[in-house]
Amino acid sequence: MKKSKSVIRSWAVAAAMIMVLAGANLAGAASIPQEVEELRLKYERLYQQYTQALSDAKSSTAAELGKEVELAKRRYEEARKALTPSQKTQEKIKETAETVKNTVDKLFSSGDKNETPTAVASKELPGYSDFKISIDGDNYCGQFAMTSVFNGMGIAKDPQKIYQDTNPAGIFTGPPTIVEYLNMNGIDASQKHNASLGDLTRKIDAGLPVVVLMNSGGGVPHWVNVYGYNTDAEGKVVSLKLRDSYWGTSKGYEMDVERFKTAWNDPVGTKLPNSLLGYSNLMIDIKGTREPAQSPSALNFNFNTAMEDNMSSGINDVVTGFKRIAPMQLAGGITKCVLGIPGTVLGVTAKGINKLGDMTVDWGKSRLDKGGFGNTLLGGTAVVGGSVVKAVGYVAKASGNLLSGVATMAGNFTKKLGYVFAR
């Protein structure tokens, strides 16, 4: 009886939803047609070619493709705009759907309260999906994500100001630069390396947004603000809600969890030189609002990625300090780059050693799988040898991180002096 009641209720909800959606279609809220989808695909394809040309250092091809990408993006957005129902219509549809669902639920809600819900659940922080962010220039994903976070947490910020403060040259913004700017503008943030999907959802459940580094295609790192997620009937995350300067420019974008995990796990790809930045599952952990920091923190780095942090923040400080004519920021960047030389050499060498160790272990395992005395002896030796090589790599990496950490502290301290003198 209970089961049949549940089935009837499900059918009733589904039928009501279909009716509402059909009504919405008649009212002009058409689903995205083939033409828009084609324009989107064209835009994405051109963007991938563009990023590929950039990573291959083909500047003339990249410049031409850049123009084509801009045009394709404009055409796609115009087509999408023409088809998207107005805000008012969207709200009305949502409201009607909710009313129908509640009415049906009330009609069939006698008794079975503990029944597992079959509908997909959704968690979303308010104020993120529809906020308009307008920013000009290239490579502004970090600034876009920061603007989204600032706005969502009730701090009014002009994206152009963030752009000028943190990335006036339009290059990749390193994680320490993002963390530093957030801390100095009223948001308590730090870096978390090798974070899990659970870390992300726990933050959102606590009412806090998250910024993550993803692969936007071809190993190009891209900052994204995650502000919500959807779960299936069993509570498993099926998709995430994002705001960013690529997928979710004008409003929130939902990404399938598997695609998200792949892009999050390997934000820089395996191709040099991007792969020199060994970030993986990196999340900017936002803990809430705070009093704005008066000067940059000397300890703004993560030990696990200290070499990468020193290199990226050193380059960021040199370029931004030069562009903004900020002598102490420039001096801090130079300090990081110069003192970071031994750490970088050790860290990069360690990556090579680790790779060699991995290859030796894999080769050894494949020999072991083949069986036989010779293969077992050879495979076993290779696995042991490879493991020793990997251990050496880990020690070298830790030493590189330690040295880079010292360089970062010295650089940040130099930069800090600029703020002390300015007071």
Partner 1 sequence: MGIFAGLSTAYVMGAFAFQAIALGFIGLDARCQARRMLWLLLTLFTGPVGLLVYFLKGRN
- Under a CB-based contact definition with an 8 Å cutoff, are residues 104 and 16 in contact? yes
Residue number with CB closer to partner 1 (150 or 279):
279
Q: Does 224 bind partner 1 (CB under 8 A)?
A: no
Helix (H) or strand (E) holding 215: strand 210-215
Among 277, 306, 330, 361, binds partner 1 (CB under 8 A): 277
Q: Least CB distance from residue 348 to partner 1, whole Å? A: 6
What binding mask, one character per residue, do residues 51-90 give for partner 1 by CB under 8 A, x or -? ---xx-x---------------------------------
Q: Least CB distance from residue 73 to partner 1, whole Å? A: 18
Q: Does 377 bind partner 1 (CB under 8 A)?
A: no
Residue number with CB closer to partner 1 (283 or 319):
319
Q: Does 171 bind partner 1 (CB under 8 A)?
A: yes
Among 233, 272, 384, 391, binds partner 1 (CB under 8 A): 272
Token look-up 């703004």 returns 300
Report the C-alpha gap between 1 and 105 in whole angstroms.
Answer: 17
- Under a CB-based contact definition with an 8 Å cutoff, are residues 308 and 279 in contact? yes
Token look-up 């880079």 returns 404
Report the C-alpha gap between 228 and 320 in whole angstroms.
Answer: 32
Among 49, 90, 164, 274, binds partner 1 (CB under 8 A): 274
Region from 37-45, 244-252, 269-277, 298-306 binding partner 1, contact rule CB under 8 A: 269-277
Q: Least CB distance from residue 113 to partner 1, whole Å? A: 53
Residue number with CB closer to partner 1 (85 or 342):
342
Count Cβ neighbours within 10 Å for each residue of 368-401 and write b for 16 or more, e otherwise: beeeeeeeeebbeebbeebeebbeebeebbbebb
# chain residues binding partner 1, by CB under 8 A: 32
- Under a CB-based contact definition with an 8 Å cutoff, are residues 289 and 188 in contact? yes
What binding mask, one character per residue, do residues 317-336 give for partner 1 by CB under 8 A, x or -? --x-----------------
Q: Least CB distance from residue 11 to partner 1, whole Å? A: 52
* Contact positions with partner 1 (CB under 8 A) in 339-358: 339-342, 344-345, 348
Residue number with CB closer to partner 1 (227 or 301):
301
Q: Least CB distance from residue 220 to partner 1, whole Å? A: 6
Q: Does 417 bind partner 1 (CB under 8 A)?
A: no
Instruction: End-to-end CA distance of the chain: give it in Å, rounded.
Output: 75
**Planar angle of CA 347, 348, 352, nearest 5 degrees:** 115
Report the C-alpha gap between 366 and 385 in whole angstroms.
Answer: 15
Q: Does 399 bind partner 1 (CB under 8 A)?
A: yes
Q: Does 145 bind partner 1 (CB under 8 A)?
A: no
Q: Least CB distance from residue 398 to partner 1, whole Å? A: 13
Note the residues at the interface with partner 1 (CB under 8 A): 54-55, 57, 138-139, 169-172, 220-221, 272-274, 276-277, 311-312, 314-315, 319, 337-342, 344-345, 348, 399, 403
